[in-house]
Every structure is written in structure tokens, then in C-alpha cells.
Structure 1
Amino acid sequence: MTQYLISFDSGAMDHISEEELPDVGKVSHGVIQEAVNAGVFVFGAGLQTQRASIVATDGMVTDGPYPETKEVVGGFVVVDVASREEALAWAAKIAVACRCAQEVRELLPDPETDAMLRQAGRR
């Protein structure tokens, strides 16, 4: 199985009125429950609308994102599925539920981290 990041930009849901948000939340949580029931949901969350803090290699902290950044992630879901096509199918369900386009990217596997998590009883 392969993990995929399904995400949308901050502001992508700005077209949804305050009155509609509860319904969007209900439908979105229904899709997440479906992914949980299917055994493909790994993790997901919305991100606070705020400037990110950037921590440099020397430990210096600055406000971000970098000035050239035009878009930042507003929310995401990680799914663990057999194929890119399956990830795209989940992204389509999420796009309908959230009423906004979704970006899909494959996460690189890291066997060493997986081994650490297994040893810690986390996988």
C-alpha cells in the first residue's frame, strides 16, 4: 500500500457561506468515516489560518510563509491505498464534500521510520 496526501489550499473554501458550513462539515465527516471504515484513512486535519513559523537549520525562527509563496495548505487527509487511481477516487469524494479542488501527491516511503514506529508499537 502507498500513502497519498490529499490537500487543499487555505482559502479554497472561502466561497462557502457561514450558513452552509455545518452541512459541508457533516458531508465531509461522512467521507472521512467512509475512509475509516474502508481502512484507508491515516490522518487528516484542517490548519489554523495563521502565518507559519519557519525554523532554519541554525534554529532561527521567522514568520512565514516565504514572501514568494502564493498558496498555503488549508487542510489535508492522508490515505493508504493500493494505487494512485484509488487515491484520486478518494480525492474526488473529498472535493465534492468540501466543495473545493484537491491536490493529490504520493508520499515517499521511508522503511527506517516505519521500522522505528513498529519497534515503538505505533505500526
Structure 2
Amino acid sequence: MDVPAEEMPAVAAASHAVIRAAKAAGVYVFAGGINAGVAPERVAADGGRTGTTYPQTARFDGGFCVLELPSRDAAVQWAARLAAACRCDQELREFHYDPES
């Protein structure tokens, strides 16, 4: 997302409108932004911690929106709505269903 600071209120309003629509449609699970003020860290199985993260995710920022949808086509439609609201492309991923979760 590369939006001038003065346009961020409009982007926030537009993206919040999409989230409200997802809630009204009954497809919303959760959403939120990454807190840029808290550095990521890796935690090992023994509890050891590093002050680093994986190189491929070092510049990750933004947020997540998780929706429960009936099809990939529906997911593409919602992602397009979020892309228009946020003024940037959205990466679409699918969670693997785990019956134990």
C-alpha cells in the first residue's frame, strides 16, 4: 500500500465499510493490522528467541482479513472489494481445514 498520508482516512473508511459488509453477510471471521511498533521475532521449540524473522517476511506489513466463503470465486470477489478499498492488490490465501482446530 502506497497511499499519501492525507488519503489514509478515506482508505480506512472504505476498508472498514467492506469489513462491515462482510459482517453483515455473515462471512467475517476476523481481521486486523500488523502492529509495526512491535518487532517480529522467531521462537524455537526450546523457547529460545531471536530478534530476527525469516528473511522473506522481514518487510511484511499490512494486515489480514479472514472470511469464511463458499468458493474461490467468492474469495476473489471479496479480495477485489478490499483491493479497491485499500487501493492496492490483495494476496489471496486459503486456510487448510483441520478438523482438530
* TM value normalised by structure 2: 0.90
Greater share of strand = 1
Question: Any idea what the Cα deviations from partners look like across 1:10-67, whole Å, max 9, x if unmatched?
Answer: xxx2x21111000100010000000000000100001012431110111101122223
Which residues of structure 1 form unaligned runs of 5+? 1-12, 114-123
Which residues of structure 2 form unaligned runs of 5+? none
Measure the CA separation in 2 of the matches of 1:105 and 1:68: 17
SS in 2 for 1:64: coil
Q: Does 1:44 align with 2:37?
A: no
Q: Mapping of 1:74-93 within 5 angstroms?
A: 74-93=62-81
Q: Mapping of 1:54-65 within 5 angstroms?
A: 54-65=42-53
The corresponding residue for 2:12 is 25
Q: Mapping of 1:97-116 within 5 angstroms?
A: 97-113=85-101
Letter of the 1:52 partner, please give it: P
- Structure number with higher relative contact order (C-alpha < 8 Å, ≥ 6 residues apart): 1
Letter of the 2:27 partner, please give it: V
Letter of the 1:54 partner, please give it: R
Aligned-residue sequence identity (percent) comes to 46
* TM value normalised by structure 1: 0.75
Q: Tell me which stretches of 4 or more aligned residues in structure 1 moved more than 3 Å.
A: 67-71
Measure the CA separation in 2 of the matches of 1:92 and 1:40: 15
Letter of the 1:87 partner, please give it: A
